[in-house]
Amino acid sequence: MVIKIMKKQIRILGVDDAPFMFQDSKTMIIGVVMRGGEYLECVLKDEITIDGDDATDTCIDMIKKTRYHKQLKTVMLNGVTLGGFNIVDINMVYKETGVPVITITRDKPDLESIRKALLKHFKDWRERYNLIVKGRMHKVPTLHNPIYIKYIGVTLEEAKEIIKLSTIRGTLPEPIRIAHLIASGVKRGESYGKA
């Protein structure tokens, strides 16, 4: 899908996970459908297994079940992992839903530390690591600090434009920031911390 003319009010689904303790078996994920970065239309909720392998399928279900599925122009994820090392295969999400996906992180991932952690804790560490490193990461400058993105279903220029139109202040687009605030607020009673 190619976005030919970028409308300011495109529908974007932002997804983030709730805070959790590693003794928990599951954690909540929150999705918010926003028009650009200005208008919140819908809040979605589901759950995934901590350090499991169901994040991809859960994201696909979340996208397909929302009444806004056909109008979504992009899904934004706060990184490629949810619930610890429950990794989202963004290629599979795009293939199954037809909705482009952009992952956004504030900091460049330390891939060697990630590899060591996966090797220590998971029998299927190689498959998880391959999903994490799949695709090229791009450094995108913002008015503040740079962010790091991966994307599928849009061009790099389109991804940058979507990020720019959905970011009001700071470095993170509103759909991810709002999903984070709701997820942490519901879990802890009041939201805090940066997405």
As a whole number of angstroms, the distance between CA 10 and CA 167 comes to 13
From the centroid of its chain, how far is CA 128?
Answer: 17
Sign of the dihedral defined by the CA atoms of residues 19, 106, 13, 153, in that order:
negative
Residue 193 has pLDDT above 80, yes or no: no
As a whole number of angstroms, the distance between CA 106 and CA 130 comes to 21
Query: Tokens for 62?
Result: 């979340």
How confident is the model over 22-40, as pLDDT tens digits?
789 999 999 999 998 889 9
CATH 3.40.50.1000 fits 11-187, yes or no: no
Looking only at the bridges linking them, the beta strands covering 147-152 and 138-140 are antiparallel
Average pLDDT over residues 135-145: 91
Assign 26 to helix, strand or coil.
strand
Average pLDDT over residues 100-125: 96
How confident is the model over 85-110, as pLDDT tens digits?
999 999 999 999 999 999 999 999 99
Q: What is the mean pLDDT of the chain?
A: 92
> What pLDDT was estimated at residue 156?
96
How confident is the model over 61-75, as pLDDT tens digits?
999 999 999 999 999
> What pLDDT was estimated at residue 181?
94
Domain range annotation of the chain:
11-187
Residue given tokens 């482009």 in the structure block: 100
